[in-house]
Amino acid sequence: MVQERHPQGKGVCWTLRLWSAAVISMLLLSTCFIASCMEKMWGCCPNHWKSFGSSCYLISTKENFWSISEQNCIHMGAHLVVINTEAEQNFITQQLNESLSYFLGLSDPQGNSKWQWTDNTPFSQNVRFWHPHEPNLPEERCASIVYWNLSKWGWNDVFCDSKHNSICEMKKIYL
């Protein structure tokens, strides 16, 4: 009697290939996650927040008053955006809709041209992006960023009780 031989190698080979593909896929996904989250350490932003430098940004889709906008940011562990560099301004404006205006974390509570940031960053005369001839009214005590055709994106003083969209900023979450 002749015994039949079953090629066991093909089944083992197929299983080995399947496991290899799964391991390689997991390594690629892990590498992508690490690359997207890693900056200095493990810095990540919450879902739907945009990452730039050491901060995360959320662009609101709802208009509100300045004080309510700031409170909404605070409830998320953030504050209205503080713009420190031209690179940060450029990054933010790339995310914005040119037909809308957005509150910044900048205000002049007394109306005496002593502008201050919500996070107590000193207001530097070197880092400012006011539109020409702005700020122009002491009654307009809050700042927004808005697109004007001739001068593109810039800051404008506005009434704090007017409704605008807003931009929240928080530090990245480090793991």
Same domain, 17 and 88: no
pLDDT digits (tens, 9 = 90+) for 40-85: 557 899 999 999 999 999 999 899 999 999 999 999 999 999 999 9
Q: Which of 11-25, 31-45, 63-77, 132-146 has the lowest mean pLDDT?
A: 31-45
What integer is the mean pLDDT of 3-17? 61
pLDDT at res. 116: 96
Same domain, 83 and 123: yes
Judged against a pLDDT cut of 70, whether residue 30 lies above it is answered with no
More confident residue, 112 or 19: 112
The model's pTM = 0.75
Same domain, 105 and 149: yes
Domain assignment of residue 52, yes or no = yes
More confident residue, 99 or 34: 99
CATH at 124: 3.10.100.10
Tokens of 148: 């004007």
Same domain, 52 and 123: yes
pLDDT at res. 174: 80
pLDDT at res. 14: 67
Same domain, 33 and 59: no
Domain assignment of residue 148, yes or no = yes
Judged against a pLDDT cut of 60, whether residue 160 lies above it is answered with yes
Same domain, 100 and 29: no
Same domain, 93 and 162: yes
Please give the residue range of the domain that contains residue 26.
Answer: 8-39
More confident residue, 42 or 11: 42
Same domain, 20 and 55: no
Same domain, 109 and 167: yes
Q: How many domains does the chain have?
A: 2
| SS3 readout for the chain | CCCCCCCHHHHHHHHHHHHHHHHHHHHHHHHHHHHHHEECEEEECCCCCEEECCEEEEECCCCECHHHHHHHHHHCCCEECCCCCHHHHHHHHHHCCCCCEEEEEEECCCCCCCCEECCCCCCCCCCCCECCCCCCCCCCCEEEEEEECCCEEEEEEECCCCCEEEEEEEECEEC
Judged against a pLDDT cut of 70, whether residue 132 lies above it is answered with yes
